[in-house]
Amino acid sequence: MSCCHHYYALAEGCESAFSVDMSKITLGPGCLAEAGERLTARAVKRVAVFTDSRIKQMPFFQTLMDSLLRAGLDVALFDRVRVEPTDESFLEAARFAVEADPDGYLSIGGGSVIDTCKAANLYATYPADFLAYVNAPVGEGRPVPGPLKPHIACPTTCGTGSECTGIAVFDLLDMKAKTGIASVHLRPSEALVDPQCTHTLPHNVLAASAFDVLSHAAESYTAIPYSARVAPAGPMARPMSQGANPWSDMGCERALQIIGRYFERAMADPSDLEAREQMMWAATLAGVAFGNSGVHLPHGMSYAVAGLVRNYTVEDYPDDHPMVPHGMSVIVNAPAVFRHTACACPERHLDVARWLGADVSDAGNDDAGEVLSTRLEQLMRKARFPGGLAPIGYTVADLDALTDGAMPQQRLLSNAPLAVDRAALKELFRSALSYW
Ligand SMILES: [Fe+2]
């Protein structure tokens, strides 16, 4: 590792320890068939299954349902999860959960499905006003009172990482901004990661989820070092977004190397199943990593990009409401961000560029941001993704609204390797308008 040995040097008054927390994970082709026995092993008799209308049509969904029925489980099915969920769709799912009264949960789908299931489990287990558990300052940020009911998460895209994290993200309709609920208790009890689910992913779903993984790993690796944070008041006050740490670094490095090797292959040839399956492994590694470090600016900015969308839709996604898929709303910010943050830890930005396949042999620390961002732009072009915010419909007239939408994401903004105030954030959005 080329970063200096003192990256995690301890300092007076700063954090001196980091914690590692993760879901139990089972990974392998066909492992969805284990779901029934895994739920009964957790004493679940009645399970609420969360999915969306597209996943419900997939053959692997039947494999899962067969497993639940074989195990003798009583199943209540919610198949109306909204892609890119809102406060309203979370509440609808929670009402279903209250009525179904399950003693366990299972989610099968992308991040929207898994996040919706986390929220349903939370509000059915510990009823409260919706904003009670939502991150401050948007919500009250009240701590989740205790453990939730068992939840087995089954990701079907190669991106989310939601199966490994205690975060549920949604669109707060009144504010036209995304925000989230974060608690260790939201982390699913188990994840079943079946790479066969990736075989049928359409191009834009594959690319958006791969860019999400890429950014999870790149952001975690370049986040503020945990040892540079002010020491928490006590161990229970240590945040989940605790910053880069040696544990997260391992997962980020391997995930980025896999992405560098397989992402272009997976996009170029839909029949390259090895490449697709490897991308899911990268998603799991990055999910475990960022669940213990946290992401920063590209994700913090993405909440505004997705929340303020006006007319944009993307092929392969539902077209009944305007939306920017999560991974797309993240990656359009990333080149602007990494050009800006490279000066804080240039060696780490060069590491990311190299693992993603960039030639860094002649690059010095001053080139780090440019080398990494240029490599990201190459991948975005290969994916036929928008080259910035302008093709999504944003102009300079939107810069203040975008900045206002991102400023409340303090959990993410404060995890960046350098401090970003309102003026700097607005300049980042300006730089992200058009890359080519
Ligand atoms: Fe993400």
How much of the chain, in percent, has pLDDT values that exceed 90?
A: 86
What mean pLDDT is reported for the chain? 94
The CATH number of the structural domain formed by 30-193 is 3.40.50.1970
Structure tokens at 168: 């549920």
CA distances for 41 relative to 73, 286, 305, angstroms: 12, 28, 42
**Which one of 1.10.510.10, 3.40.50.300, 3.40.50.150, 1.20.1090.10 gives the CATH number of domain 5-19+201-431?**
1.20.1090.10
Residue 216 CA, ligand 1 centroid: distance in Å = 6
pLDDT at 1 over 60: no
Q: For residue 236, what pLDDT is reported?
A: 84
Eight-class DSSP state of 107: E
Concatenate the DSSP letters of all residues of 329-385 into one string.
Answer: HHHTTHHHHHHHHGGGSHHHHHHHHHHTT---TT--GGGHHHHHHHHHHHHHHHTT-
Q: Which of 135-139, 286-290, 338-342 has the lowest mean pLDDT?
A: 135-139
Q: For residue 409, what pLDDT is reported?
A: 87
Domain ranges of the chain: 5-19+201-431, 30-193
Residue 25 CA, ligand 1 centroid: distance in Å = 19
Residue given tokens 């208790």 in the structure block: 185
Chain center to CA of 198: 17
What is the pLDDT averaged over residues 152-168?
A: 89
Residue given tokens 């958006």 in the structure block: 208
pLDDT digits (tens, 9 = 90+) for 105-116: 999 999 999 999
pTM: 0.92
Between 27 and 179, name the one with better pLDDT.
27
Residue 106 CA, ligand 1 centroid: distance in Å = 21
Q: Among 24, 74, 13, which residue's Cα sits nearest to residue 49?
A: 74
Residue 214 CA, ligand 1 centroid: distance in Å = 9
Show Cβ contacts of residue 233 under 8 Å, excluding neighbours closer than 6 positions.
none
Q: For residue 5, what pLDDT is reported?
A: 52
What is the pLDDT averaged over residues 239-243?
A: 89
CB of 221 closer than 8 Å to CB of 245: no
What is the pLDDT averaged over residues 159-176?
A: 87
As residues whose CB is below 5 A from the ion ligand 1, the structure lists 212
Residue 291 CA, ligand 1 centroid: distance in Å = 11
Residue 160 CA, ligand 1 centroid: distance in Å = 6
Residue 212 CA, ligand 1 centroid: distance in Å = 5
Alpha-carbon dihedral sign for residues 57, 303, 430, 342: negative
Structure tokens at 340: 């800006």
Residue 326 CA, ligand 1 centroid: distance in Å = 7
Q: For residue 395, what pLDDT is reported?
A: 98
CB of 306 closer than 8 Å to CB of 171: yes
Query: Inter-axis angle of helices 346-355 and 334-341, to 10 degrees?
Result: 140
Alpha-carbon dihedral sign for residues 285, 288, 289, 291: positive
Q: What residues does 192 pair with on adjacent strands?
A: 26
Rounded-to-integer distance, Cα 392 and Cα 109, Å = 25
Residue 218 CA, ligand 1 centroid: distance in Å = 11
pLDDT at 386 over 50: yes
Between 159 and 78, name the one with better pLDDT.
78
pLDDT digits (tens, 9 = 90+) for 133-158: 998 888 999 999 999 999 999 999 98
For residue 85, whether the previous peptide bond is cis, meaning omega lies within 30 degrees of 0, is: no
What is the pLDDT averaged over residues 179-198?
A: 94
Q: Which of helix, strand or coil describes residue 274?
A: helix
What is the pLDDT averaged over residues 305-330?
A: 92
CB of 283 closer than 8 Å to CB of 163: no
Count of Cβ atoms closer than 10 Å to residue 311 Cβ: 7
pLDDT at 206 over 90: yes
For residue 279, give the H/E element and its range. helix 273-290
Residue 82 CA, ligand 1 centroid: distance in Å = 17
Residue 272 CA, ligand 1 centroid: distance in Å = 24
Query: Inter-axis angle of helices 297-307 and 203-222, to 10 degrees?
Result: 140
Residue 332 CA, ligand 1 centroid: distance in Å = 13
Residue 122 CA, ligand 1 centroid: distance in Å = 21
Residue 327 CA, ligand 1 centroid: distance in Å = 6
